[in-house]
C-alpha cells in the first residue's frame, strides 16, 4: 500500500509499504507530527498524466503523456512523453475529468490528473490538481505536441476574453521533456 500525508506536495513523505513490518516501522518512526494520513492500495500499471482545462463547467482534455518515474517508493517524475500509448482511453479520461469538475463544482480552471492504467486498461486517479502542472508540460510539451497554447487559453478562460477550446487533433509530433 501507499501511505502519504493528507495534504502534501512533490511526493514528500510518500512511502510504499510492502508488509506489516514496514507499516509498523513508519508508524513507530513517523506518526508523531505527520498529521492525517492517506492509505491507498498500490496499483501496478502505467502512470500517465492527463492535461486538461475546465471552462464553463466543461472539461476539455488537451493531452495525455506517458510518465516515467524513479523506482518506488519515491515516484519522482523523470520523463513525460507524447503521444501516449493510452490515447485510446481519451474518452474515458474526459469522463473522469468531467466528473471531477462536477463533484468539486469547478467552473474554470486547468486540471492535471495523474492516473494509473492497470493491466485491464482500467483507470485509477491517484492525483487531481487544479494547476498547470510542472516539468515543462504546459509551456514546452503541450505546444510542441498539439500547437495549443495552454497557458494563454487558460488565462483567456479565466478572464472570459475569447477562450478557444482545445481539440484532440494531433500535429504528429512526438514530444519529450526530461527532468534533470
Q: State the Cα–Cα distance between residues 31 and 86, nearest whole angstrom.
A: 38
**Residue ranges, the chain, pLDDT below 50:** none
CATH superfamily of domain region 46-178: ATP-grasp fold, B domain (3.30.470.20)
Q: State the Cα–Cα distance between residues 47 and 32, nearest whole angstrom.
A: 31
Report the pLDDT value the prediction gives residue 69, as an integer from 0 to 100.
85
CB 64 within 8 Å of CB 90: yes
Report the pLDDT value the prediction gives residue 33, as an integer from 0 to 100.
62
Note the pLDDT tens digit of each residue in 62-87. 999 999 888 776 777 889 999 999 99
Residue 35, phi-psi category: left (phi > 0), alpha (psi -120 to 50), beta (remainder): left
Report the pLDDT value the prediction gives residue 175, as an integer from 0 to 100.
86
Report the pLDDT value the prediction gives residue 45, as an integer from 0 to 100.
93
The domain limits of the chain are: 2-40, 46-178
Residue 53's alpha-carbon distances to 25, 95, 160, 178, in angstroms, are 41, 13, 14, 23
Report the pLDDT value the prediction gives residue 31, as an integer from 0 to 100.
60
Amino acid at each position: 500500500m501507499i501511505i502519504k500525508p493528507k495534504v502534501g506536495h512533490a511526493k514528500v513523505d510518500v512511502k510504499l509499504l510492502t508488509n506489516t513490518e514496514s507499516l509498523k516501522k513508519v508508524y513507530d518512526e513517523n506518526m508523531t507530527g505527520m498529521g492525517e494520513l492517506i492509505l491507498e492500495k498500490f496499483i501496478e500499471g502505467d502512470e500517465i498524466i492527463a492535461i486538461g482545462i475546465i471552462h464553463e463547467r466543461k472539461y476539455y482534455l488537451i493531452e495525455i503523456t506517458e510518465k516515467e518515474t524513479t523506482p518506488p517508493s519515491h515516484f519522482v517524475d523523470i520523463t513525460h512523453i507524447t503521444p501516449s500509448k493510452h490515447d485510446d482511453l481519451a474518452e474515458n479520461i474526459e469522463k473522469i475529468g468531467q466528473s471531477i469538475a462536477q463533484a468539486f463544482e469547478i467552473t474554470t480552471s486547468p486540471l492535471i490528473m495523474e492516473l494509473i492504467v492497470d493491466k485491464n486498461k482500467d483507470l485509477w486517479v491517484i492525483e487531481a490538481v487544479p494547476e498547470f502542472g510542472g516539468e515543462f508540460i504546459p509551456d514546452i510539451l503541450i505546444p510542441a505536441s498539439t500547437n495549443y497554447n495552454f497557458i494563454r487559453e487558460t488565462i483567456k478562460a479565466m478572464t472570459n476574453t475569447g477562450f478557444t477550446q482545445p481539440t484532440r487533433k494531433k500535429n504528429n509530433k512526438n514530444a519529450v521533456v526530461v527532468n534533470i
